[in-house]
């Protein structure tokens, strides 16, 4: 929880800081350092060399948010406490010096998808008016970990309302509170979702680190469309405690950043066991001693076996420009020592990629109702206590929500379910079988370290098995809309995926900052 000292303490810190700052030479050199596109390493170096204070970093982002957010709709709320927290951290650093074992996240501002609960002045709403004014019992586990690493919570990022689980017919990036999120590269293009605001904000330099959540594509897709790095960790690697759920079987929390290294540092800060989330018990055995940063290796691609499934993943929706870009990327990866196993097939891929045909929809809606009802019950204060209340809320306050255009089809389907019955169990068995005979079998049989796929196309394949993936910027289409490349693998493969993603990023350096083109 945020430490909130009375205001006079806050201003005391500011005054002391001002005196200390005036005594140091920091202001004179500040001009040389650019926060835009800076990595966490760059920022930490600037802090260390006194070219930048934590307050100046927060002030820069707050200015950029007030300048750009009216057009981008990427941030729902900024933290009224952020400057105070920065002052406090600055004061501590000035007074006591940098702590000996300084976390890379120390003093770094982080933006959170608005499903990730914070026990502070910020609301946690999933983008819905129904949750405005609700009070969470405690910080979500990932936020507690960020605070423990001395990160500063900058605010809440926009998202597809209820992470798209209100209706599939609502456009990506849309939410009742605040409207439509925009792609900063081409404003008329989709930002994708549901972690739209997290990806947009990082892309547009409104923050360096954000967290998103993924149930089926919600980190990988916006990362791809906003030319940023998104890590979707295996389910259970990061705790879902205190995060508004879709389905605990598939939900996972992960970082979205501009650089693979930044995302890996953020991942290191948030992974780990949480007694409130059973899945973290099973998954914590995969977390390597010393964390994930050791896999940011210069020669990480040597000997890596990468599989390519062309049908249908390199044919659907990929223009010729993208295909060319990927062929050139494959060559680059080969030059760096990777080995390709080409033209592979995932059994029943057409079924797996169709939410309805695979049966993924059947248990998901039932699990959503159970998980959401339990989450809402746990709130200290809330206008809604169950999914039924959320649906009723819509009926009462229809002027607040865009009802006619976007029916609540998923809400209604979920409300009509009654726990995990025979039909759900049968569908779950089917999903396990599809995953086992498809992705898992392929990766085992061909001894692959990772599958390489364009954009976020592989998302459903990973979703049904709880598998991890990392999206890295891979190019821009004719109009300048970004597209990414995803490296995915089996549970526990994050170290290898990081080696591959980092190796690819360092060899290609595709990302460029957005230019806000209207069309």
Q: Are strands 252-257 and 229-232 parallel, antiparallel or unpaired?
A: antiparallel
Decide: 247 and 363 in contact? Cβ < 8 Å: yes
CA 183, CA 517: separation in Å to the nearest integer? 9
Tell me if 198 sits within 8 A of 470, measured CB to CB: no
Cis peptide bond prior to 312, omega within 30° of 0: yes
Check: CB of residue 217 under 8 Å from CB of residue 210: no
Pairing assessment for the beta strands 109-113 and 209-214 based on DSSP bridges: parallel
Beta carbon nearer to ligand NAG, 411 or 439: 411
Q: 348 in helix, strand or coil?
A: coil
CB closer to ligand NAG, 389 vs 440: 389
**Is 264 in contact with 40 (CB distance < 8 Å)?**
no
Between CA 153 and CA 292 the distance in angstroms is 23
Catalytic residues: 113, 194, 218
d(CA 192, CA 328): 25
How far separated are the first and last CA of the chain, in Å rounded?
A: 43
The answer to whether 259 and 247 are in contact (CB under 8 A) is: no
How far lies 1's CA from each of 119, 134, 198, 209, 230, in Å?
A: 6, 16, 22, 19, 26
Residue 179 in 3-state DSSP? strand
Cα distance between residue 155 and residue 123, in whole Å: 9
> What number of CA atoms fall less than 13 Å from residue 55's CA on the CB side?
19
Residues that bind ligand NAG (CB under 6 A): 77, 80, 103, 121-123, 132-133, 145, 148, 354, 356-357, 359, 362, 391, 394-395, 398, 403, 408, 411-412, 423, 426-427, 430
Whether omega before 10 lies within 30 degrees of 0, making that bond cis, reads no
Residue 107 or 359 having the CB closest to ligand NAG: 359
Fill in the DSSP letter of residue 475. E
Max alpha carbon distance in the chain (Å)? 71
Nearer to ligand NAG, 277 or 505 (CB): 277
CA-wise closest residue to 388 among 371, 366, 373, 378:
373
Instruction: Let me know: does 343 contact 514? Beta carbons within 8 Å.
Output: no
d(CA 108, CA 154): 9
CA distance 479 to 387: 41
Asked whether 255 and 263 are in contact (CB, 8 A), the reply is yes
Strand ranges for 52-92 from DSSP E: 75-78
Torsion of CA 448, 428, 359, 458, to 10 degrees: -20
């Amino acid at each position: 929880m945020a430490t909130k000292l009375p205001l006079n303490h806050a201003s005391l810190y500011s005054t002391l800081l001002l005196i200390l700052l005036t005594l140091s030479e920091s202001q004179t050199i500040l001009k040389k350092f650019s926060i835009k596109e800076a990595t966490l390493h760059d920022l930490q170096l600037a802090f260390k060399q006194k070219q930048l204070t934590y307050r100046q970093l927060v002030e820069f982002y707050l200015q950029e948010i007030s300048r750009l957010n009216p057009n981008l709709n990427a941030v729902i709320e900024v933290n009224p406490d952020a400057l105070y927290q920065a002052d406090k951290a600055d004061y501590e650093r000035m007074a006591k010096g940098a702590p000996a074992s300084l976390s890379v996240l120390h003093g770094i501002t982080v933006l959170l998808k608005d499903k990730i609960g914070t026990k502070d002045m910020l609301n946690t709403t999933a983008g819905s008016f129904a949750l405005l004014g609700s009070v969470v019992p405690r910080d979500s586990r990932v936020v507690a970990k960020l605070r423990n690493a001395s990160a500063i919570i900058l605010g809440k990022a926009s998202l597809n309302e209820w992470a798209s689980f209100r209706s599939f017919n609502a456009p990506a990036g849309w939410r009742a509170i605040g409207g439509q999120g925009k792609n900063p590269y081409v404003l008329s293009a989709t930002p994708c979702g549901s972690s739209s605001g997290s990806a947009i904000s990082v892309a547009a330099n409104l923050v360096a680190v954000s967290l998103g959540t993924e149930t089926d594509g919600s980190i990988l897709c916006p990362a791809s469309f906003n030319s940023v790095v998104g890590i979707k960790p295996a389910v259970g690697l990061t705790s879902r405690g205190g995060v508004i759920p879709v389905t605990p079987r598939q939900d996972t929390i992960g970082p979205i950043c501009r650089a693979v290294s930044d995302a890996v540092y953020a991942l290191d800060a948030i992974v780990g066991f949480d007694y409130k989330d059973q899945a973290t018990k099973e998954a914590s055995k995969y977390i390597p001693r010393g964390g994930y940063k050791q896999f940011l290796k210069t020669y990480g691609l040597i000997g890596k076996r990468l599989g390519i499934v062309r049908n249908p993943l390199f044919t659907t929706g990929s223009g010729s420009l993208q295909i060319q870009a990927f062929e050139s990327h494959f060559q680059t990866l080969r030059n760096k020592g990777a080995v390709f196993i080409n033209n592979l097939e995932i059994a029943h891929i057409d079924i797996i990629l169709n939410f309805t045909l695979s049966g993924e929809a059947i248990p998901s809606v039932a699990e959503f109702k159970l998980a959401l009802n339990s989450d809402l019950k746990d709130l200290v204060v809330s206008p809604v206590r169950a999914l039924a209340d959320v649906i009723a809320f819509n009926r009462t306050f229809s002027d607040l929500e865009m009802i006619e255009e976007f029916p609540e089809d998923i809400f209604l389907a979920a409300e009509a379910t009654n726990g995990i019955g025979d039909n759900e169990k049968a569908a779950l068995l089917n999903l396990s079988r599809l995953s086992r005979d498809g992705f898992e079998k392929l990766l085992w049989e061909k001894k692959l370290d990772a599958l390489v796929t364009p954009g976020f196309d592989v998302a459903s394949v990973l979703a049904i098995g709880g598998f991890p993936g990392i999206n890295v910027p891979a190019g821009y289409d004719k109009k300048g809309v970004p597209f990414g490349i995803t490296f995915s693998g089996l549970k526990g493969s994050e170290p290898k995926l990081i080696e591959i993603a980092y190796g690819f990023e360092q060899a290609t350096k595709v990302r460029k900052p957005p230019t806000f083109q209207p069309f």
